[in-house]
Amino acid sequence: MAQPITPIPKLQLTITMLIQAAESLSATVIFPFVPQFVQDTGVTGGDERKIGYWAGVLESVFFVAEFASVYAWGRVSDHIGRRPVLLLGPLGLAFSLIGFGWSTTFSGLFIFRCAQGVFNGNIGVVKTVMAEFSDATNLAQTLSLIPIAWSSGTTLGPIIGGLLSNPQERWPNTFGKLQILRYHPYLLPCAAIGLLSLSFFFLALIGLKESSPVILARNKKEKLRAAASAEPTSITGLLADETTGYGAMVRSDVAEAVETPSSSRELATSADEELPTIRELLVPRLVIPLLNYGFYCFLSTAYQVLFPLMYSTSIPNGGLGFNPYQIGVTRGVWGVLNTLFLLFIAARLIRRFGVRNIYIFSFANFAICLGAYPLLNILARRAQRVDALVWAVVVVQGISNITLSWSYATVQMYIVNSAPQPSALSSTNSIAQMTATILRALAPFLVSSLFAASLEWNVAGGYVVYIILLCVVAMGIYSSFLLAKESS
């Protein structure tokens, strides 16, 4: 008989997902206006050809700073608890976002962009908390929610950035009258995301509970010790008998007051447990999931970077010639469908077919998603327009895109289960997040450069970038078969 599914703590998971969404919101809000913002600082010396380079620096340094700080945040959370670390993230992010929008020099933009990456370094702790609030029966359901936070942020971030930038031109009779927004035309979108982050901070301050089994065990031990050493009174004197009477009831109440979440009860641990080093964690049990996670992060970022580039480029130059409205609607439709599938279908499929099988299937869809790009342009060139056949391939690509998020949820389950002990869960997730951030920092530069070089030099008909990426997909599919079967 199937084990009943434990209800997930909805409030706790909602708070942690909002904190996670702050990362993708802050990472992508600058995309619509960063080229013009860079040019306005004067760092390019008026040479428009240099804008892409300096804008790329700002986009990548976010993930580099996150990479440099993520493991430290994880270790800190092991010592002082998850809750303080998660509170510091959105609070610091709010001020660094406002500072970014307030800046008028490139050095200011660089410093505050680095700060945003640092305060987003707690993203590994977010995933740890979500795992600690889960157990074996609902882990798939919980981890399938993680991509929703990321995809929601990457969808809303650019919309807010594009809609609220340059208020003097968009709303000359309202926001445009404010001198501060005329002098700082990109402050409004940054402040909007900053205020969202600040609201996430206050929500977490009120409602987020501690989830670390080590910290909870330590607190329990301290409360029991305090109860045992209390001065004898007409009530506490009864504590001398630990097994019967009111003393046993008081001790039971103390234990219940610090009861851990479901996964913490399963993974009972000592508060004095030593934390493993990075070398002790990097064993095949973790390295193989990390390898697969690395392939996923690189290819998913490459796919996202190519989407606006390829869709907006003219048909003769290798794209589809879509305008920003068409790109936004297409991306938005698949974003909504992706969210619905993750909410209602993904966890059921994982439980039905197994973690490993779903990961292999969903990761293989990168071949369809990336392979569709050159096919779309070939068909559009033949028809000299975007006809029904081209739209049919767009639909197929979008359907395959929906399955990609299942790879994220399933590989996260492997990473969570690879932790050798409960106290190592945060460090394990932090190492995984370091892998993700460094590859997300490299992918935009590498893929954008390959896309431009392919078109400029007409290598392999302008499609060499897709050939290279499909080779990476093949390597990723091979590595997916190395994942342990017993985890499915």
If you search the block for the tokens 């690395």, which residue do you land on?
A: 294
Q: In the prediction, which pLDDT does 468 show?
A: 94
Q: Which positions ≥6 away from 171 have C-beta within 8 Å?
A: none
pTM of the model: 0.69
Q: In the prediction, which pLDDT does 113 show?
A: 94
Q: In the prediction, which pLDDT does 466 show?
A: 93
Cβ neighbours around 161 below 10 Å, total: 23
Q: In the prediction, which pLDDT does 274 show?
A: 62
Q: In the prediction, which pLDDT does 150 show?
A: 76
Among the residues of 319-424, which ranges form H helices? 324-344, 346-353, 355-383, 388-417
Q: In the prediction, which pLDDT does 216 show?
A: 84
Of the candidates 470, 123, 57, the one whose C-alpha atom is nearest the C-alpha of residue 299 is 470
Rounded CA separation 328/164 (Å): 16
Rounded CA separation 421/366 (Å): 33
Chunked into runs of 10 residues, the chain (488 residues) has average pLDDT values of 74 90 86 80 76 74 86 86 92 94 93 93 83 79 76 79 82 80 90 95 93 82 78 44 36 36 41 61 83 93 82 85 74 78 83 91 96 94 92 94 87 81 71 83 79 77 90 96 74
Q: In the prediction, which pLDDT does 322 show?
A: 83
Cβ-in-10-Å burial (0-12, 13-18, 19+) of 102 comes to middle
Q: In the prediction, which pLDDT does 423 show?
A: 61
If you search the block for the tokens 């650019």, which residue do you land on?
A: 158
Q: Phi-psi region for residue 385, left (φ > 0), alpha (ψ -120 to 50) or beta?
A: beta
